[in-house]
Amino acid sequence: MLVVPEPWRPLILGLAAAFFSVGCAAAQNMPLAERIAQCGGCHGEDGNSRLEKVPSLAGQPAYFVMNQLFLMRENVRRVEAMMPFVKDLKDDELTALAQHYASLEAKPSDEAIDRSVIERGAELARSLRCGSCHLPTFAGQEQMPRLAKQRVDYLIEALKSYRDNTRSGAETLMSTTVAGLPDADLVALAHYSASR
């Protein structure tokens, strides 16, 4: 840890605040193409994530993406890694990003699908009526995300966070739906959903 001598602290803090302000002002005036490129660093240049536990955005319903960005911007849904990117987004930027990602083709990740649990996942999806909100194709609709071709590791983590009530700003219906399910069932649901 860097220790700044007392006489220098006001100057260092002032410079840090100035650089932060300039960075924020630049981010506020960032063209959409630059924002998309920035998002692509984690979510994939084509909206299909190749990073562990980072969701793919390609093919997500526009309303879903816009709503999630709004919830993150307003600190209702806290995703620490996203905070610097969403805090200064304007409403029209939320909409433009959402429309961009909705227009991209969803592609499966490079993760292996465990075929041994697919049947169990399909059975659970039927009994939990997952298709009634996410559609039978799992393509999602309105504020319901696309699960088909999503990253398996991300789906597992998301399902656990719903079940364990650790996902801020989450849809309570999802928490109720997966309440009490063991990890093995969540894994089966994730593999089945991603395989659609």
The tens digit of pLDDT for each residue in 115-171 reads 999 999 999 999 999 999 999 999 999 999 999 999 999 999 999 999 999 998 877
* Residue 136 placed within a domain: yes
pLDDT tens digits, 28-77: 578 999 999 999 999 999 999 999 999 999 999 999 999 999 999 999 99
* Residue 104 placed within a domain: no
* Residue 16 placed within a domain: no
Give the C-alpha distances (Å, rounded to integers) separating 136 from 40, 130, 179.
29, 8, 22
Task: Assign residue 144 the CATH number of its domain.
Answer: 1.10.760.10
* Residue 143 placed within a domain: yes
The total number of structural domains in the chain stands at 1
Its pTM stands at 0.82
- DSSP secondary structure string for all residues of 119-139: HHHHHHHHHHTTHHHH-TTS-
Domain residues for the domain of 181 are 115-195
Query: Dihedral sign, CA of 173, 175, 176, 177?
Result: positive
* Residue 172 placed within a domain: yes
